[in-house]
Amino acid sequence: MGFEGADPGTVRPGGRTARVRSAVLRAAGDALAEHGFAHLDLADIARRAEVGKTTVYRRWGTVTSLVADLLVDMAEQSLPRTETGSLLGDLKANARLVQRTLADPRQGALFKAVVAAATCDAKTAEALHSFYDIRVKEWAPCVQQAIERGEVPDGTDAHEVIRAVSAPLYYRLLTTGDRLDEAAADQAAEAAAAAARAGAYLRGERGLA
Protein backbone atom coordinates (compact mmCIF):
# COMPACT_ATOMS: atom_id res chain seq x y z
CA MET A 1 0.00 0.00 0.00
CA GLY A 2 2.31 2.82 1.14
CA PHE A 3 1.41 6.25 2.45
CA GLU A 4 -0.66 8.35 0.09
CA GLY A 5 0.32 11.56 1.90
CA ALA A 6 3.53 12.41 -0.01
CA ASP A 7 2.84 15.48 -2.16
CA PRO A 8 3.06 14.99 -5.90
CA GLY A 9 6.43 15.68 -7.47
CA THR A 10 8.48 14.31 -4.58
CA VAL A 11 8.70 10.63 -5.55
CA ARG A 12 9.52 11.02 -9.24
CA PRO A 13 11.03 14.48 -9.51
CA GLY A 14 12.76 13.82 -12.85
CA GLY A 15 11.79 14.35 -16.50
CA ARG A 16 8.22 15.42 -16.95
CA THR A 17 7.70 16.57 -13.36
CA ALA A 18 10.68 18.93 -13.55
CA ARG A 19 9.62 20.15 -16.99
CA VAL A 20 6.14 20.92 -15.72
CA ARG A 21 7.51 22.76 -12.72
CA SER A 22 9.79 25.03 -14.70
CA ALA A 23 7.12 25.72 -17.33
CA VAL A 24 4.57 26.60 -14.65
CA LEU A 25 7.00 28.79 -12.70
CA ARG A 26 7.95 30.68 -15.85
CA ALA A 27 4.27 31.15 -16.71
CA ALA A 28 3.55 32.25 -13.15
CA GLY A 29 6.29 34.88 -13.34
CA ASP A 30 4.93 36.18 -16.62
CA ALA A 31 1.36 36.29 -15.33
CA LEU A 32 2.39 38.03 -12.09
CA ALA A 33 4.36 40.63 -14.00
CA GLU A 34 1.46 41.23 -16.39
CA HIS A 35 -1.67 41.07 -14.24
CA GLY A 36 -0.31 41.57 -10.74
CA PHE A 37 -0.98 39.38 -7.73
CA ALA A 38 -4.71 40.07 -7.35
CA HIS A 39 -5.96 39.33 -10.85
CA LEU A 40 -4.18 36.01 -11.06
CA ASP A 41 -5.87 32.92 -12.41
CA LEU A 42 -4.33 29.48 -12.01
CA ALA A 43 -6.21 28.26 -15.10
CA ASP A 44 -4.55 31.04 -17.11
CA ILE A 45 -1.14 29.99 -15.83
CA ALA A 46 -1.88 26.39 -16.79
CA ARG A 47 -2.83 27.52 -20.31
CA ARG A 48 0.38 29.55 -20.71
CA ALA A 49 2.48 26.65 -19.43
CA GLU A 50 0.61 24.25 -21.72
CA VAL A 51 -0.23 22.10 -18.75
CA GLY A 52 -3.53 20.80 -17.39
CA LYS A 53 -5.06 23.08 -14.80
CA THR A 54 -5.70 20.03 -12.64
CA THR A 55 -1.94 19.63 -12.38
CA VAL A 56 -1.44 23.19 -11.19
CA TYR A 57 -4.17 22.85 -8.56
CA ARG A 58 -2.86 19.46 -7.44
CA ARG A 59 0.78 20.51 -7.04
CA TRP A 60 0.40 24.08 -5.76
CA GLY A 61 -3.24 24.57 -4.90
CA THR A 62 -3.20 28.28 -4.21
CA VAL A 63 -1.68 31.36 -5.78
CA THR A 64 0.36 32.14 -2.67
CA SER A 65 2.00 28.73 -2.47
CA LEU A 66 2.83 28.91 -6.17
CA VAL A 67 4.53 32.24 -5.49
CA ALA A 68 6.35 30.66 -2.55
CA ASP A 69 7.75 27.99 -4.89
CA LEU A 70 8.65 30.67 -7.42
CA LEU A 71 10.64 32.42 -4.69
CA VAL A 72 12.52 29.22 -3.90
CA ASP A 73 13.40 29.01 -7.57
CA MET A 74 14.46 32.67 -7.71
CA ALA A 75 16.61 32.24 -4.61
CA GLU A 76 18.58 29.49 -6.35
CA GLN A 77 19.64 31.77 -9.19
CA SER A 78 22.11 33.95 -7.30
CA LEU A 79 24.20 36.45 -9.23
CA PRO A 80 27.83 36.74 -8.12
CA ARG A 81 28.69 40.11 -6.65
CA THR A 82 31.34 42.38 -8.07
CA GLU A 83 34.31 43.74 -6.05
CA THR A 84 35.64 47.25 -6.57
CA GLY A 85 38.01 47.71 -3.64
CA SER A 86 36.10 50.44 -1.80
CA LEU A 87 32.95 50.27 0.29
CA LEU A 88 31.21 52.98 -1.69
CA GLY A 89 32.11 51.29 -4.98
CA ASP A 90 30.76 47.95 -3.80
CA LEU A 91 27.58 49.45 -2.39
CA LYS A 92 27.02 51.40 -5.59
CA ALA A 93 27.41 48.23 -7.62
CA ASN A 94 24.84 46.57 -5.39
CA ALA A 95 22.48 49.55 -5.54
CA ARG A 96 22.72 49.71 -9.33
CA LEU A 97 21.92 46.00 -9.57
CA VAL A 98 18.83 46.39 -7.39
CA GLN A 99 17.82 49.56 -9.22
CA ARG A 100 18.12 47.96 -12.65
CA THR A 101 16.08 44.99 -11.48
CA LEU A 102 13.28 47.06 -9.96
CA ALA A 103 13.24 49.58 -12.82
CA ASP A 104 12.82 46.84 -15.42
CA PRO A 105 9.09 46.67 -16.21
CA ARG A 106 8.79 42.92 -15.99
CA GLN A 107 11.08 42.36 -13.00
CA GLY A 108 9.77 45.39 -11.15
CA ALA A 109 6.17 44.25 -11.47
CA LEU A 110 7.21 40.74 -10.50
CA PHE A 111 8.92 41.91 -7.32
CA LYS A 112 5.94 44.03 -6.36
CA ALA A 113 3.64 41.07 -6.86
CA VAL A 114 5.88 38.76 -4.88
CA VAL A 115 6.00 41.18 -1.96
CA ALA A 116 2.22 41.48 -2.10
CA ALA A 117 1.82 37.71 -2.04
CA ALA A 118 4.15 37.42 0.95
CA THR A 119 1.93 39.75 2.99
CA CYS A 120 -0.98 37.35 2.53
CA ASP A 121 0.49 34.03 3.57
CA ALA A 122 2.97 32.88 6.22
CA LYS A 123 4.66 30.23 4.04
CA THR A 124 5.15 32.69 1.20
CA ALA A 125 6.49 35.27 3.65
CA GLU A 126 9.04 32.74 4.88
CA ALA A 127 10.15 32.04 1.31
CA LEU A 128 10.52 35.77 0.70
CA HIS A 129 12.58 36.17 3.87
CA SER A 130 14.94 33.38 2.80
CA PHE A 131 15.30 34.97 -0.61
CA TYR A 132 16.42 38.28 0.86
CA ASP A 133 18.52 36.53 3.49
CA ILE A 134 20.50 34.87 0.72
CA ARG A 135 20.93 38.09 -1.22
CA VAL A 136 22.05 40.00 1.87
CA LYS A 137 24.49 37.26 2.87
CA GLU A 138 25.94 37.32 -0.65
CA TRP A 139 26.82 41.02 -0.36
CA ALA A 140 27.65 41.33 3.36
CA PRO A 141 31.35 40.39 2.88
CA CYS A 142 32.04 43.71 1.16
CA VAL A 143 31.15 45.50 4.38
CA GLN A 144 33.32 43.07 6.35
CA GLN A 145 36.22 43.97 4.07
CA ALA A 146 35.54 47.67 4.67
CA ILE A 147 35.74 47.02 8.41
CA GLU A 148 39.09 45.28 7.93
CA ARG A 149 40.35 48.20 5.83
CA GLY A 150 39.28 50.55 8.63
CA GLU A 151 36.76 52.37 6.43
CA VAL A 152 33.98 51.56 8.84
CA PRO A 153 34.05 51.13 12.65
CA ASP A 154 34.53 47.68 14.12
CA GLY A 155 31.31 46.08 15.32
CA THR A 156 29.27 47.35 12.37
CA ASP A 157 26.40 45.06 11.40
CA ALA A 158 27.27 44.14 7.80
CA HIS A 159 23.83 42.75 6.99
CA GLU A 160 22.17 45.92 8.19
CA VAL A 161 24.34 48.04 5.89
CA ILE A 162 23.38 45.96 2.86
CA ARG A 163 19.70 46.21 3.77
CA ALA A 164 20.13 49.96 4.13
CA VAL A 165 21.14 50.14 0.47
CA SER A 166 18.07 48.30 -0.81
CA ALA A 167 15.52 49.78 1.59
CA PRO A 168 15.11 53.23 0.03
CA LEU A 169 14.85 51.71 -3.45
CA TYR A 170 12.06 49.35 -2.42
CA TYR A 171 10.39 52.10 -0.41
CA ARG A 172 10.42 54.31 -3.47
CA LEU A 173 9.10 51.53 -5.72
CA LEU A 174 6.19 50.81 -3.40
CA THR A 175 5.18 54.17 -1.95
CA THR A 176 5.86 56.67 -4.74
CA GLY A 177 5.25 56.69 -8.47
CA ASP A 178 8.72 58.08 -9.17
CA ARG A 179 11.06 56.40 -11.61
CA LEU A 180 13.97 54.48 -10.12
CA ASP A 181 17.02 55.94 -11.87
CA GLU A 182 20.77 55.64 -11.36
CA ALA A 183 20.75 58.79 -9.23
CA ALA A 184 18.43 57.08 -6.77
CA ALA A 185 20.73 54.07 -6.65
CA ASP A 186 23.83 56.19 -6.08
CA GLN A 187 22.08 58.20 -3.40
CA ALA A 188 21.06 55.01 -1.60
CA ALA A 189 24.64 53.72 -1.72
CA GLU A 190 26.16 57.00 -0.57
CA ALA A 191 23.69 57.39 2.28
CA ALA A 192 24.37 53.85 3.50
CA ALA A 193 28.15 54.33 3.23
CA ALA A 194 28.06 57.68 5.04
CA ALA A 195 25.86 56.30 7.83
CA ALA A 196 28.07 53.22 8.17
CA ARG A 197 31.22 55.35 8.44
CA ALA A 198 29.50 57.45 11.13
CA GLY A 199 28.84 54.29 13.14
CA ALA A 200 25.07 54.22 12.71
CA TYR A 201 25.03 50.46 12.15
CA LEU A 202 27.01 49.38 15.23
CA ARG A 203 25.60 46.19 16.65
CA GLY A 204 23.92 46.33 20.06
CA GLU A 205 23.91 49.71 21.84
CA ARG A 206 23.37 52.69 19.60
CA GLY A 207 26.61 54.53 18.92
CA LEU A 208 25.56 58.18 19.12
CA ALA A 209 23.76 60.21 21.77
Interface residues toward DNA, by CB under 7 A: 2, 4, 6, 8-17, 20-21, 41-43, 50-55, 57-59, 61-63
**Phi, psi for residue 37 in degrees, rounded to 5:** -65, -40
158, burial (CB in 10 Å: exposed 0-12, middle 13-18, buried 19+): buried
**Residue nearer to its own copies on the CB measure, 113 or 146:** 113
Q: What is the rounded CA–CA span in Å between residue 151 and residue 198?
A: 10
Per-residue binding string, its own copies, 112-131, x by CB under 8 A, is: xx-xxxxxxx---xx-xx--
Closest CA relative to residue 83, chosen from 37, 142, 137 = 142
Find the shortest distance in angstroms from Cβ 43 to its own copies.
17
Find the shortest distance in angstroms from Cβ 62 to its own copies.
9
Q: What is the rounded CA–CA span in Å between residue 54 and residue 58?
A: 6
Contact yes or no for 25/70 (Cβ under 8 A): yes
Single residue of 70, 87, 143, 192 touching its own copies by CB under 8 A: 192
Site residues, its own copies (CB under 8 A):
36-39, 63-64, 88, 112-113, 115-121, 125-126, 128-129, 132-133, 160, 163-164, 166-168, 170-172, 174-177, 183, 186-187, 190-192, 194-195, 197-201, 206-209
